[in-house]
Copies of this chain bind each other. A is one copy, B any other.
Amino acid sequence: MPFLSGAPPFRPENPVFAIILGNTLLSTVPGVSGAGMSPEKTVLTPVLDSELITHGEIRSRKWKPNTPTGCPTPAVITRAMMVLLGMEPLFVNAGLTTRPVVPCLDVYGEPGKDPREGDAVPRARELFARGEQVGRFLSRSADLLLLGECVPGGTTTALCVLRGLGIPASVSSSFVNNPVALKEAICARVQERIRAEDAGDPLDVIRIGGDPMLAVAAGMVSAFKGETVLAGGTQMLAVAAVLRGLGKKVPSVVTTVFVRDDPTAGFAATAATIGTPVYYVDPDFATIGHEGLARYCMGEVKEGIGAGGAMFLARIMGKSEAEIRDRLLTTVSGY
């Protein structure tokens, strides 16, 4: 397998790597999200991961950047690539339960609520507009917007939104065993609410069953004037589907081969339905010489907080596969 499938659009002169942080209270439902040591603690992951990427360590809490099984957080991959490129991502706070410990471009949203109970993102339309403002602002200097996200539980809200837009999607998971039945049960309740309202507008679908990241991401991409590449798995397909539903240009998506190879996700088929060009990054973790990273090949974690996009960026900015893999191994071994 090549490291990067498909020819990237161009080598950017001034890329901005923005990572949207958000919460949905769905991640606290036991079994929904593997992005944290316990269901209640999943909500902290965006704040801790952004701290790790910025400082190379977690200072604010006692916390090991691993899953309970010893798999390194994808934030370590993003961190390694930022160090390699000598750059820093721009974190965007779309709506978090806890206060970040690094500067974020904050749109002053709220965490997404449980969409089974009522509207998940009551201010979806306003958050979209604030995302547009951010996109316009970034257009002044950047020629590429690489957009990642960190929303524990976000594959479930992505499923609700994709289905709500009429796309027969399934979604990936950070668990080895995707809790498909639980996600489908949640999704079924949300589809009832969408049908009850006869909601067709993508921003209404986000309001009813999405999360704040989806609204902000769609707004940012919508207003950004340069090239956009969405960095993530099925959650970013939901963003692409929202943009298509709004009649906007559909951006490409970059993700890891671990998402592509998740049989429960149907990533390639959904991308084709939406009409999203896709790049896959294959860091060949099976041969990299690190047990935790090798677990990615066995279906754990797979992707997150722009990890696939960060490796993609390093490659299109001219770093060799060897440089990228060396840096990954050095960085991950340090934790």
Interface residues of A (CB under 8 A from B): 14, 16, 54, 87-88, 90, 93, 99-108, 130, 133-134, 136-137, 140-142
Contacts and interface: CB of A to CB of B under 8 A. Distances in A.
A261 to B, nearest CB: 34
B88 A136 contact: yes
A106 B109 CA distance: 13
7 contacts: A14-B141, A54-B133, A100-B108, A101-B108, A103-B106, A104-B105, A104-B106
Nearest to A143: B141
Given A88-B137, A101-B108, 19 more contacts: A14-B140, A14-B141, A16-B141, A88-B133, A88-B136, A88-B140, A90-B137, A100-B106, A100-B108, A103-B106, A103-B108, A103-B133, A103-B137, A104-B106, A105-B105, A105-B106, A106-B106, A141-B141, A141-B142
Contacts of A133: 54, 88, 102-103
A14 B16 CA distance: 15
How many copies of the chain does the oligomer comprise?
2
A96 to B, nearest CB: 11
Contacts of A54: 133
Contact of A105 (B87, B103, B108, B140): B103
A102 B88 contact: no
A87 B93 CA distance: 23
A142 B136 CA distance: 16
A28 to B, nearest CB: 23
Contacts of A141: 14, 16, 141-142
A143 to B, nearest CB: 10
Contacts of A108: 99-101, 103-104
A280 to B, nearest CB: 27
Sorted nearest first, the 7 A-B pairs with minimum C-beta distance are A141-B141, A106-B106, A103-B107, A105-B105, A103-B130, A14-B141, A103-B134
A93 B108 CA distance: 11
A140 B14 CA distance: 8
A22 to B, nearest CB: 14
Contact of A140 (B87, B101, B136): B87
A107 B88 CA distance: 15
Nearest to A142: B141
A228 to B, nearest CB: 17
A144 to B, nearest CB: 12
Contacts of A107: 103
